[in-house]
Chains A and B, each alone.
Chain A
Amino acid sequence: DQQVKQNSPSLSVQEGRISILNCDYTNSMFDYFLWYKKYPAEGPTFLISISSIKDKNEDGRFTVFLNKSAKHLSLHIVPSQPGDSAVYFCAARGGSQGNLIFGKGTKLSVKP
């Protein structure tokens, strides 16, 4: 059973436009959400996070929105750059010992 779902396996965006990556979760007890970015042959690297007591967190070109009633979060990248092309993983903290539970990832391609 997938507790964290990223239903879009891939997304293609033109450089300079907005990229919106979506994530849904099933467990209302999750209290902390993170986005990780992964390049091929590398490990995931932390990008941005949000606590369940907030609905928005911004860091430069990256903004994460949380809608707790819908159990949905999204990552906005504005403006998108070719170097943003990577796989983005959504993760929620809430495993049995506070471990992170990951979605399957969305592969973002930003075309010049």
Chain B
Amino acid sequence: DTAVSQTPKYLVTQMGNDKSIKCEQNLGHDTMYWYKQDSKKFLKIMFSYNNKELIINETVPNRFSPKSPDKAHLNLHINSLELGDSAVYFCASSQGQWSGYTFGSGTRLTVV
């Protein structure tokens, strides 16, 4: 049973396209996150949702739009993809904002 699952695992797409990454957790956690790991290997937070409500929106281009239809899902939609968007995107969840995270296995996005 996968606790935090992301799809797809790999995504190769052309510049200018629009794509979505899906994330689902079956842990009953109420908080979900998107992190980006760039080429320098930093894991940086992008967004956080608590019970479907956006609580963190770091300095991320507005081409990135998270959507949380319910507290078990947090999807990431990216418009007009750019080369610099190439990275590994990790979804994570936690119970409350003040506990450890469980991560998904990541989505490697390559923009060509």
Contacts and interface: CB of A to CB of B under 8 A. Distances in A.
Interface of A: 32, 34, 36, 41-46, 49, 87, 89, 93, 95-102, 104-105
B47 to A, nearest CB: 10
B110 interface: no
Contact of B100 (A49, A104, A105): A49
**Interface of chain B, main secondary structure:** strand
Given A42-B106, A43-B104, A102 B42 contact: yes
B20 interface: no
A97 B97 CA distance: 7
The residue among B43, B48, B104 with the most chain A CB atoms within 10 A of its own CB is B43
Contacts of A104: 40-42
Interface residues on B, range: 20 to 34
A99 B103 contact: no
24 contacts: A34-B100, A36-B103, A41-B105, A41-B106, A42-B106, A43-B105, A43-B106, A44-B43, A49-B100, A87-B41, A89-B43, A95-B56, A96-B56, A97-B97, A98-B98, A99-B33, A99-B45, A99-B48, A100-B101, A101-B45, A102-B44, A104-B40, A104-B41, A105-B41
Contacts of B48: 97, 99
Contacts of A46: 100-102
4 closest cross-chain pairs (CB), A and B: A43-B103, A102-B43, A98-B97, A43-B105
B21 interface: no
A69 B4 CA distance: 37
Contacts of B27: none
B55 interface: yes
B103 A44 contact: yes
Given A43-B105, A44-B90, A99-B97, 8 more contacts: A42-B106, A93-B98, A95-B56, A97-B48, A99-B33, A102-B43, A104-B40, A104-B41
